[in-house]
Chains A and B, each alone.
Chain A
Amino acid sequence: MKKTIPLLIVILGGLIWVAWAFSPHYILQEVFYNQFYLPWAYASSPFAMLLGVLSLTMMHSNKIKTRGPKWQYSYFFFGSFIITCLAGFIGGIQKGSLFMWMFENVQMPMSATMFSLLAFYMASAAYKAFRARSPEATVLLVAAIVVMLAQVPLGVQISKHLPSISQWILDVPNLASKRGIMLGVGLGSVATSLKILLGIERSYLGGGD
């Protein structure tokens, strides 16, 4: 019973959505979509944020309580979270407020830097791990080197045909392999969506009772 009603909601609602995609009827387009689904989706969405807050808060307070590894740094998490929330709720979110200043000058640089570390790891991997162990790996490396050289301004000075060779590699063999993979992935995801729609796939409901 606890799983049946949500399952029925998904199946019936999903079938109405399928009908919505094909039928311009007033009941589907106006009553179901504009008057029921949209306001309800907007009203129920902000609470999902609280899930993330609760989950992280529980994890870090557990760490502090049980003195897990690197538990002292959890205080930095709580401190920065509470200060940001207070700055946002009390000071407002307009440009120039403390809240936006913290986001633009603390969070944005750090978030960008986290990703830029990947460049160093890539260079290290290029030196230590990329080996032409088999003919296929050699073809992969040669294609990569041609594309890499053609992307930069230096490429056209090495050979004026390099940009068009690289464009051919991207337009023909790359396109064919990506299209084949995309068709496979598309078929797989449509099959999974259909299984959810028909109630065969129920893992999203979670385990237990």
Chain B
Amino acid sequence: MNIFERMQKLDRRWIYIVVALAIIIPLMIPYDSDNVTTPPTENLYQMIDSFAGREDRAILMSFYHDAATMPELFPMEVAILRHCFERNVKVFTLTWFPAGAPIIDYAINSVKEEFPDIQSGVDYCNFGYKPQAFAMVLGMGDNIANTMNTDAEGRKLENLPIMKGINNYSEMNLAIEFSGSSAGGMWITYARPKYGLNVAVGVTAVMAADMYPYLQSGQLIGMLSGLKGAAEYEKLVDIFAAYRDPKIDYSIKVDEDGNQILPGRPFGREILEDDSSKKLSLITTQTKAKFSMDEFAAFSAKYPENMALLNSLRSLEDDMVIIDVTQITPEQRSQMGETMYRELDRLTRNTLYKFKVARIGMNAQSVAHIMIIVFIVLGNIGYFIQKARQAKN
């Protein structure tokens, strides 16, 4: 048997081993890469961001899937929750599957760990598992508190602070459904024509191509497609929502003109296309907080009592002041206080593992896609050469 016949008859278990290695190795060696954002993701980001800081707007996240599709949909959900908690957007969550209820708890608890000020019933509300999706979707268009009645913990909705200013779809103006199949169908067919609700979806990539007609017709305002959509959204959150300007004091909520000071910054195309934004969404671990001279002066002015400590930790490099957080000892950390330490940690622009899962996955995805393309090409080469030989014989 010549080499091409042997190639065609290769035992598929060898293929399985190659697949497993092609994914395990990139996951163990993180490296920086850039995921280009696409308009469906950017539109969804901008719509959620427009609700930032508003008491009369909220979003609803519908977790319409079970554990099987979690690897693609969970990073999207975590990224959106992080965006909402960073920019003070009210969030409601629910699921139509019993198996979806633990997933909501995982997502909220995982993100809440980094935001000690976020409270259930004030900044977010979990409705949990609700049966009879059709009736609930239509009922929320009239009045959410009457339809849903209680949240997942059994508290009556009317008594919760989060419901102040939220009555129905006129205020809870965006519903995002995460599903591996038929995402958004019920919302687009029933809630949107009757109540004018904005609908977006987070789908596994299998369904993504089928959703494009809805995107163009405006029935969907945005879409996150698979792991790539999650990676794009994580990048947008890192560059905009999680961004902190060292000069601004975010503990003050309202400035002297009465305008709200919100953490993060609004979406801007020029910032996204600028090269400096690449440094804000790196996958590898970052430990150094970098300041320009004015930024450092403004930052240290916020903490005058720790000026000496800051000066002892800083070092200079190319006109930039560098503070390496790994050099801070536990005594120095308790001396400077948790608030200052957290702010320094944030200014390293390091992303926690749980907030960059999709981007790490996309690195493995690169290798896997090259592998599949090589398989297709090799298979076809072998097939055509076999065919030519048989034709000659």
Contact = CB atoms under 8 A, between A and B. Distances in A.
Interface in A99-148: 100, 103-104, 107-109, 111-112, 114-116, 119-120, 122-124, 126-132, 141, 145, 148
Contacts, number: 122
A175 B212 contact: yes
Interface string A172-184: 0011001100100
Nearest to A107: B67
A108 B132 contact: no
A149 to B, nearest CB: 7
A167 interface: yes
Contacts of A37: 135
Given A127-B15, A170-B212, A149 B379 contact: no
B250 interface: no
Interface stretch (A52-60, A78-86, A150-158, A199-207): A150-158
A17 to B, nearest CB: 11
B59 to A, nearest CB: 24
B102 interface: yes
B375 A123 contact: yes
A167 B41 CA distance: 13
Contacts of B102: 95, 100, 103-104, 108
Contacts of A179: 213
Contacts of B34: 153, 156
B70 interface: yes
B12 interface: yes
Contact of B35 (A100, A123, A141, A153): A153
B119 interface: no
B1 interface: no
A123 B67 contact: no
Contact of A95 (B16, B105, B209, B372): B105
Interface residues of B, number: 49
A127 B216 CA distance: 35
A42 B388 CA distance: 66
B71 interface: yes
A163 interface: yes
B10 interface: yes
A45 interface: yes
A64 B139 CA distance: 47
Interface in A64-106: 95, 100, 103-104
B366 A153 contact: yes
Interface string A160-195: 000100010011001100110010000000000000
A198 to B, nearest CB: 21
B363 interface: yes
A37 B131 CA distance: 14
A5 interface: no
B388 to A, nearest CB: 14
A154 B35 CA distance: 9
5 contacts: A111-B68, A127-B15, A128-B12, A152-B365, A154-B370
The 3 closest A-B pairs by CB, nearest first: A153-B33, A108-B67, A152-B366
Interface of A: 37-38, 41-42, 45-46, 95, 100, 103-104, 107-109, 111-112, 114-116, 119-120, 122-124, 126-132, 141, 145, 148-149, 151-154, 156, 163, 167, 170-171, 174-175, 178-179, 182
